[in-house]
Structure 1
Amino acid sequence: MAALKYAGLDDTDSEDELPPGWEERSTKDGWLYYANHVEEKTQWEHPKTGKRKRVVGDLPYGWEQETDENGHIYFVDHLNKRTTYLDPRLAFTVDDNPLKPSSRQKYDGNTTAMDILQGCGLTGKVAIVTGANSGIGFETARSLALHGAHVVLACRNIARANEATGKILEEWQKAKVEAMILDLSSLRSVQQFAKAFKAKNLPLHILICNAGVFGTPWVLTVDDLESTFQVNHLGHFYLVQLLQDTLCHSAPARVVMVSSESHRYTDIKNASGKLDFNLLSPLKREYWSMLAYNRSKLCNILFSNELNRRLSPHGVTSNALHPGNMMYSALHQSWWVYTVLFTLARPFTKSMQQGAATTIYCATAPELEGLGGMYFNNCCRCSPSQQAQSEVTAVALWELSERLVQERIGRQAQ
C-alpha cells in the first residue's frame, strides 16, 4: 500500500517542518517517529527540534487503525473511504515532556480569516451564517463567499442583510450570496427560515451560529423567555434541530458555535448542583445583562459538545470558539459601559477580519475534518471551563431546551 498524505495535517510551522525526504508516522500506542527515505532509517526524535512527541485523544468517529503487511500502522477513514499513514490526530500533539506542551498550530491572534482561506477553494459548499449583516458575522460570510462558497446571510433585519450582500457582490460579482430573514427571538421565525431554506433544495455543509446580543435590558421575547437566553442559545438550538436532517444528508458537515471566554465567569446550576432554568431566563429583578450574556455563552459550548456527541456518528461535527478580545461591533451599542471599555482597550483589540479567523478556521480547516467537541481561541484548541465540559450539564441543557421549544411551538399550533 503506498503512503498517502492526509491533506492539511502535513502543513506545519517552520520549526516542525520536516526536511525533504522525511516522513512523520506514529506507533500503535501514539508515539511519533520519523522515517528518512533518503538514508532508509527511522528515529524517535524530530530531525530539526530533537523533540519526542505523541498524539493525544481517541481517533475521530469513523476512523480505524490498521497494520499493513510490513507491520506499519495506517489509518482508515470509513466515512470518506480513504487511507493514510498519517494519524488524523497529528494536529494535536504534545511533547514527551508534559510540562512543555507543543502544538502544530500555525495561526495566532494576528491571523485573519483571509489568511486561513489562502489557496482554499470552497466551490460547491453551502454555508449559513447567522447575524451576518455586520461585524465578524459579515467578515465571516464575506470571506467564505469570496472563496467560492454559496453563503446565506441569515439576519433579523432583511434590509441590512441585503446591503451586506450588495457589498460582497460589489467586491466580486460572481459571489453566490443571498439574504434571508431570521429572527432568533421568535421560534416561529426560526421555523419559517428553516422551511424556506429547505425549499431551496440545497445541501448545507457549514452552519455558523454567530448572531448574538450583549448588554441588553431585560425584556421577554414573543415566546415569553428572557431575550439574551433565547437569541444567543435557544434560537440557535432550534435552528440546528430543524436543519439537522439537511446537515446529515450533506455530511461531512460542520456546525460552528461562536461563544466567548466570558463563559468562565458564571454558573447555571443551583446550590444542589442541578441545571436551574431560573438562572437561564431570570425575572426582571434578578437580571444582570453581563451575567445573562456569560450564561448564554456557557450554553453555547455545552450545546456544541452535546450536538457533536449526537451527530458526529452521522458525519456532522460541532466546535465552539472565542472570536477575540473586545472587538468593536454592533454588540457594544446596547451598553454604554462596553463602549467606554472598548475605547480604553482599543489598541489591544482585534480587527473584524482577525475576529472572524477562528470561526473560519473551525468551519474550513482540513485538519479538523471529522473532529468536534472542542473549544478554540486564536485558532488554537484550548480547554473551556470545567462546567462547560460537563456531559451531565450538557444533557440537562439539551433536554430543557427541547422542552422549552416543544411547549412553545405546541402552544402556537393550537
Structure 2
Amino acid sequence: MWLLTVLLPLLKLYLCGMKVLFYQMFNRSFTLPVLPKQNGRVAIVTGGTRGMGYETARHLAGLGMHVVIAGNEREEGAAAVSRIQEEGVEGKVEFVFIDLTSLKSVRQFAQNFTARGLPLHVLVNNAGTMMVPERKTVDGFEFHFTLNYLGHFLLTNLLLDALQRAGRPGRCSRVINMSSATHYGGEVQMEDLNRRVCYSSHGAYSQSKLALVLFTYHLQERLAAGGLPVTVNAVDPGMVDTALYDNLWSLAQTLKRPVAKILFRTPAEGASISIFAAAASELEGVGACYLYNGLRTQSSRSSYDPELQARLWEKSCELVGLQG
C-alpha cells in the first residue's frame, strides 16, 4: 500500500520534473508577441503578489487593464500594488483579500466583487502551493486540493455570471487555469479526494493539477453548449524558480539551487504563457487548450476522459455547495 500511495506518486512527480528540465535545457522560453491593448478590461489574478502571479498582474496592467490582485497576504499585496504603480502602467491595479482555502472567504470575495458592478473579462486562477505536509483547511479538506483546485472551482463558478455579461462574440471573456506537467503523473482518487487513506504530498499536488485540467475541459464544454462568450484554457509554465519549491525537503532544496539558476525559467518567463492566454488575439474564441511554451499541447490521457470530468464536476459542486 505504501509503495503505491506514497513512493509511486513521488517517482512520477520527479520523473515529470526531469522531463521538463530536459526540454528546457534545449528549448528557449516562449517569447511573448506584441499583444493588443486591453484598456477598459478588468482582470482578477489570484496569487498575484509574488512570482508568476505578480508578473502576470504587472504585464496585464501594463496593457491597460484594471487588475485585481487577489491574495491572502495584505502587506505583500500592498507592496505589489506599489511596485506596479511605480512603473507608471496604463492600467489600474489594486489588492483584494481572499483566502482560497476557506470557502467562506471565496464566497465573500465573489460577493464583494459582484456588488461593485465591475465587468470581468479575465480570471487567472494562478495561486497554488506544492508539497506541504498533510494539513486540513478550515472546511476540513486537504490543503493542496483546496488551494490549487477547489477554491478556484468555486471562485470561477461564482464569477461566471460576471464573465458572461462582460464577454461577447468576437471578444470573449477568458478563464486561465494554472496547471503543471505534474498532472501527467496525477491520479484523481474520486473515493478519497482528501487523501485520508494514505497521505502523499506528491500525490496530492499532482491530483490537484490534474483536477484543474479536467475542470478546464468540462467547463469549456458546458459554456460552448450554452453558446456563452467565455473561454477556458489550462496553462503549464514549466519549471519556474519561485517560492513554490520552498517545501522541498532539505537535500532536494540544496540540489535544486544550482540547477534552478541554469535550467529553471524566471517568474517573468513562466508568466508569459498566462499573459498570452489572457490577451493574445490568436486565442480569441479558443478554449479547452492545454498551453505549454506557447504551443497547444496534449495533456494527459486521463484528462480527456468525459466521465471523469463529469464525476469530478458533480463531486466538486457537492463539496462546495453548488447545484450541479
Normalised to the residue count of structure 2, the TM-score between the two structures is 0.86
Number of the residue aligned with 1:224: 140
The one of the two structures with greater contact order (alpha-carbon pairs below 8 A, sep at least 6) is 2
Residues 341 and 261 of structure 1, relative CA distance in 2, 3 Å threshold: farther
Number of the residue aligned with 1:92: none
Secondary structure (helix, strand or coil) at the match of 1:314 reads: coil
Residues 228 and 119 of structure 1, relative CA distance in 2, 3 Å threshold: closer
Aligned residues: 289
Give 2:248's match in structure 1, choosing from 324, 328, 335.
Answer: 335
In structure 1, distance between residues paired with 2:43 and 2:321? 27
Let me know the Cα RMSD of the aligned residues: 1.7
- Structure 2 residue identity aligned to 1:237: F
Asked whether the 8 Å contact 1:138–1:164 carries over to 2, the reply is yes
Q: What is the CA distance between 1:266 and its match in structure 2?
A: 2.3
Residues 204 and 109 of structure 1, relative CA distance in 2, 3 Å threshold: farther
- Structure 1 residue identity aligned to 2:273: T
- Tell me, which stretches of 5 or more residues in structure 2 are unaligned? 1-26
Q: What is the CA distance between 1:341 and its match in structure 2?
A: 4.3
Normalised to the residue count of structure 1, the TM-score between the two structures is 0.67
| Structure in which a larger fraction of residues adopt helix | 2
Number of the residue aligned with 2:10: none
Q: What is the CA distance between 1:172 and its match in structure 2?
A: 1.0
Asked whether the 8 Å contact 1:205–1:254 carries over to 2, the reply is yes
Number of the residue aligned with 1:166: 82
Q: What is the CA distance between 1:339 and its match in structure 2?
A: 2.5
Residues 210 and 173 of structure 1, relative CA distance in 2, 3 Å threshold: closer
Residues 366 and 322 of structure 1, relative CA distance in 2, 3 Å threshold: same
In structure 2, distance between residues paired with 1:173 and 1:323? 24
Q: Does 1:156 align with 2:72?
A: yes
Secondary structure (helix, strand or coil) at the match of 1:153 reads: strand
Q: What is the CA distance between 1:289 and its match in structure 2?
A: 0.8
In structure 2, distance between residues paired with 1:184 and 1:399? 20
Secondary structure (helix, strand or coil) at the match of 1:203 reads: coil
- Tell me, which stretches of 5 or more residues in structure 1 are unaligned? 1-107, 270-275, 410-414
Asked whether the 8 Å contact 1:215–1:289 carries over to 2, the reply is yes
Q: What is the CA distance between 1:120 and its match in structure 2?
A: 2.3
Number of the residue aligned with 1:247: 163
Number of the residue aligned with 1:348: 263
Asked whether the 8 Å contact 1:109–1:354 carries over to 2, the reply is no
Kindly report which structure 2 residues correspond to 1:359-378, keeping only aligned pairs within 5 A, or say none: 359-378=274-293
Asked whether the 8 Å contact 1:322–1:358 carries over to 2, the reply is yes
Give 1:290's match in structure 2, choosing from 202, 223, 230.
Answer: 202
Q: Does 1:396 align with 2:308?
A: no
Residues 187 and 172 of structure 1, relative CA distance in 2, 3 Å threshold: same
List structure 1 runs of 4+ shifted beyond 6 angstroms. none
Secondary structure (helix, strand or coil) at the match of 2:159 reads: helix
Kindly report which structure 2 residues correspond to 1:1-80, keeping only aligned pairs within 5 A, or say none: none
Structure (1 or 2) with the larger CA radius of gyration: 1
- Structure 1 residue identity aligned to 2:138: V
Residues 318 and 119 of structure 1, relative CA distance in 2, 3 Å threshold: closer
